[in-house]
Structure 1
């Protein structure tokens, strides 16, 4: 069975519903599932995010043949990234500054804790 079809069925969505999520027609989903058409890169990325799988898995490439380490994100982390992508460039800059400051603070705190041991 095609990976896309399997994932879609496991998620409990129809071809039409997946098409709406990916902004393509139901017929296009059918073509993806039968292998007649290969999704473009943006669509592959959307599918990987929607199904919460790596692009390698989605493309049928064994994970042990890759040289990158895909991150497994929690639902909350995915939600944060999703919201971040809708921000204006100025708002993204603010979020990045806050995140960088918090990261540095945490890193320093852990370093102090390590030295105290």
Structure 2
């Protein structure tokens, strides 16, 4: 879970956050250390407070908060123009080429992680 990371971004102590959200400080500590899973009410309070999705809070997504709009009775995700173009282009590809795109994306992510790791090692050696 990303509670501790988000709490520190906002410069709150565990006790302060627990008080604001009306959650015991002991439970907040257990949430941060994954010794206790928050109930749905607590998850919603945390997600609303940090303005992130529950999926982001639970490390199920790297998108902090996907913007949605209501169209009729359906919620539809809103994407940037680049994201829309990427998704539309991907959907025009056949399955083989979609697989190739996914594989390339995974390779690029691995390279990016290696660069980040190398940069961190270089910075700590200085």
- Counting only pairs closer than 5 Å after superposition, residues 6-85 of structure 1 correspond to structure 2 as 6-62=5-61, 70-71=66-67
Superposed CA offset, 1:75-105 (max 9, x none): xxxxxxxxxxxxxxxxxxxxxxxxxxxxxxx
**What's the TM-score, normalizing by structure 2?**
0.48
> What RMSD in Å do the two structures reach over aligned CA positions?
2.0
Number of paired residues? Answer: 67
| Higher relative contact order (Cα pairs below 8 Å, separated by 6+ residues) | 1
How far 1:38 moved relative to its partner? 0.6
How far 1:63 moved relative to its partner? 5.5
Superposed CA offset, 1:49-82 (max 9, x none): 1101111100110258xxxx9437xxxxxxxxxx
How far 1:24 moved relative to its partner? 1.3
Q: Which is strand-richer, 1 or 2?
A: 2
In structure 1, list runs of 5 or more residues that go unmatched: 73-117
Partner of 1:88: none
How far 1:21 moved relative to its partner? 1.5
Q: Following TM superposition, where does structure 1 have runs of at least 4 consecutive aligned residues deviating by more than 2 angstroms?
A: 69-72
In structure 2, list runs of 5 or more residues that go unmatched: 69-126
Give the secondary-structure state (helix, strand or coil) at the position aligned to 1:38.
Answer: coil
How far 1:22 moved relative to its partner? 1.6
